[in-house]
Amino acid sequence: MSRVLVTGAAGFIGSRFAELLLADAEQLGVSHITILDALTYSGRRENMVNVLSDDRVEFVHGSINDESLVDELMARHDQVVHLAAESHVDRSITGAAAFFVTNVLGTQTLLEAARRHGISKFVHVSTDEVYGSIPEGSWPEEHILEPNSPYSSSKAGSDLAALAYFKTYGLPVCVTRCSNNYGPRQYPEKVIPLFVTNLQDGFNVPLYGDGGNIRDWLHVDDHCRGILAVLRAGRPGEVYNIGGGTELTNRELTDKILSLCGVGDERITYVEDRLGHDRRYSVDWGKIHRELGYSPQVDFATGLADTVQWYRDNETWWRPLVTR
């Protein structure tokens, strides 16, 4: 039986991953899960309610940059799933330093402790944004990294550090790179919850540029199933793209949200485009499908409708986080 350290599991993706890991614990041979989270603005105790009631789960409030704490935790675990990160592009543009401190230096702190203590599997969770922008086709895992924002460049740095620890020290690292996530409990600075909560409060939705930027949408449950597949059977030293299979322009996404909220396009306010805004992301997830049997299971229309309804039904969750 193994003991798994999960970083960043008070956040959107991490908290859902912890729930699915716990549900699958017996099959995976997991006896204990420790959550390490600094509870920064997007990490919330409320997100962990479903897992912290289980006596197999322990929560530790702390930073991945705390070397002594990380060393102590690593000494009593067998596997690591590293989700802790600063992840909002807009915030990285106005304050890049925190992104490099957490995403690069924090990851290196974890990797070094994992190396010292002989961790048997280290899954480093990353993003498709490290590839840059692609006008057509889809990125394979071997594609050169061409990040264009402080956020994506900090994640690219952490990816390279993780892979270097495999190549230099033999640390059994896998890297996952996902497309745009959506689903319940996503912090309302991200586009889908931002637009839904704006509309619920009677405000317009701010659409960047011409609305033509394209993203591939991935439900958080599918993303977490992909991570679990890599934890279970991913080959050390390999990168696995995790995609959702639904490409939309931002305008197309906006129209779907407006329709679900029962309003028209008069509720769109076009705003100046974001600095360095990548035009299109698209990952080729054939590798994880072939090797590990992953395919997205959540139909986008159903997943989006359920997500919009979740924000309607859970105003007490998001209301304290919104400033107008």
Residues serving a catalytic function are: 128-129, 151
Q: How far apart are CA 269 and CA 271, in angstroms?
A: 6
Q: Which single residue is written with the structure tokens 């899954």?
A: 123
Residue pair 172/122 in contact (Cβ under 8 Å)? The answer is yes
Q: How far apart are CA 90 and CA 150, in angstroms?
A: 9
* 3-state SS, residue 177: strand
Q: Which of 130, 78, 79 is nearest to 103 (CA)?
A: 130
Q: Kindly calculate the radius of gyration of the chain based on its CA atoms and give it in whole angstroms.
A: 19
* 3-state SS, residue 9: coil
Measured at the CA of 108, the angle between CA 178 and CA 224, to 5 degrees, comes to: 25
- For 55, counting Cβ atoms within 10 Å of its Cβ (0-12 exposed, 13-18 middle, 19+ buried), the class is exposed
